[in-house]
Chains A and B, each alone.
Chain A
Amino acid sequence: MKSFFNKQHQKLIADPMGDQNPITIQVLGICSALAITTQLENALVMTLAVIFVMTSASSIISILRNHIPNRIRIIVQLLVVASLVALVDQILKAFLPDASEQLSVFIGLIITNCIIMGRLEAFAMGNKLWDSFLDALGNAFGYGWILVAVAFVRELFGSGKLMGYEVPGFSYLYELGYMNNNLMILPPMALIVVGLIIWMQRSRNNDLIEEN
Chain B
Amino acid sequence: MDLVNIFIKGVFIDNMIFAYFLGMCSYLAVSKTVTTANGLGLAVIFVLGITVPVNYILENQILKAGALQWLGDNFVSVDLNVLSLIMFIAVVSAMVQLVEMIIEKFSPALYSSLGIFLPLIAVNCAILGGALFMQERQYSTIIEATSFALGSGVGWYLAIVAIAAIREKIRYSNVPAPLRGLGITYIITGLMGIAFMCFMGIKI
Do the two chains bind?
Answer: yes
User: How long is the Cα–Cα vector from A111 to B86 in the complex, in angstroms?
Assistant: 9
Decide if A174 is an interface residue (CB 8 Å cutoff): no
Decide if B165 is an interface residue (CB 8 Å cutoff): no
* Residues of chain A contacted by B192 (CB below 8 angstroms): 188
* Distance from A144 Cβ to chain B, minimum over Cβ atoms (Å): 17
Quick one: which of A109, A192, A203 contacts B132, CB cutoff 8 A? A109
Decide if A191 is an interface residue (CB 8 Å cutoff): yes
Decide if B199 is an interface residue (CB 8 Å cutoff): no
Inter-subunit contact B125/A113 (CB<8 Å): yes
Q: Across the two chains, which residue of chain A brings its CB closest to B124?
A: A112
Interface size on B, residues (CB 8 A): 51
Decide if B72 is an interface residue (CB 8 Å cutoff): no
Decide if A162 is an interface residue (CB 8 Å cutoff): no
Quick one: which of B22, B94, B124, B183 contacts A198, CB cutoff 8 A? B183
Instruction: With A105-B133, A108-B132, A111-B128 as known contacts, state yes or no: A82 contacts B21, CB within 8 Å.
Output: no
**What are the interface flags for B185-202 relative to A under an 8 Å C-beta threshold, 1 for contact and 0 otherwise?**
011011111100100000
Binds A, one of B3-11, B42-50, B172-180: B172-180
Inter-subunit contact B190/A192 (CB<8 Å): yes
**What are the interface flags for A165-201 relative to B under an 8 Å C-beta threshold, 1 for contact and 0 otherwise?**
0000000000000000000001111111011101111
Inter-subunit contact B125/A187 (CB<8 Å): no
User: How long is the Cα–Cα vector from A124 to B124 in the complex, in angstroms?
Assistant: 20
Quick one: which of B23, B86, B127, B175 contacts A86, CB cutoff 8 A? B86
Interface of B is mostly: helix
Inter-subunit contact B119/A212 (CB<8 Å): no
Inter-subunit contact B122/A74 (CB<8 Å): yes
Quick one: which of B21, B136, B178, B189 contacts A199, CB cutoff 8 A? B178
* Distance from B98 Cβ to chain A, minimum over Cβ atoms (Å): 12
* Distance from A91 Cβ to chain B, minimum over Cβ atoms (Å): 12
Quick one: which of A27, A188, A199, A201 contacts B197, CB cutoff 8 A? A188
Decide if A29 is an interface residue (CB 8 Å cutoff): yes
Most A C-beta atoms less than 10 A away, residue of B82, B88, B122, B193: B193
Inter-subunit contact B28/A74 (CB<8 Å): no
* Distance from A192 Cβ to chain B, minimum over Cβ atoms (Å): 4
* Residues of chain A contacted by B22 (CB below 8 angstroms): 31, 109
* Distance from B139 Cβ to chain A, minimum over Cβ atoms (Å): 15
* Residues of chain A contacted by B178 (CB below 8 angstroms): 198-203, 206, 208-209
User: How long is the Cα–Cα vector from A86 to B119 in the complex, in angstroms?
Assistant: 23
Decide if A89 is an interface residue (CB 8 Å cutoff): yes
Decide if B57 is an interface residue (CB 8 Å cutoff): no
Decide if A48 is an interface residue (CB 8 Å cutoff): no
Quick one: which of B170, B183, B184, B193 contacts A187, CB cutoff 8 A? B193
List B residues at the A interface (Cβ < 8 Å).
18-25, 28-29, 82-83, 85-86, 88-90, 93-94, 119, 122-125, 127-129, 132-133, 136, 170-171, 175-184, 186-187, 189-194, 197
> Can you name 15 extra interface pairs (CB under 8 A) apart from A188-B197, A199-B178, A203-B178?
A31-B21, A74-B122, A78-B89, A82-B89, A85-B85, A112-B124, A186-B193, A187-B18, A187-B19, A188-B18, A192-B186, A192-B191, A200-B178, A201-B178, A209-B181
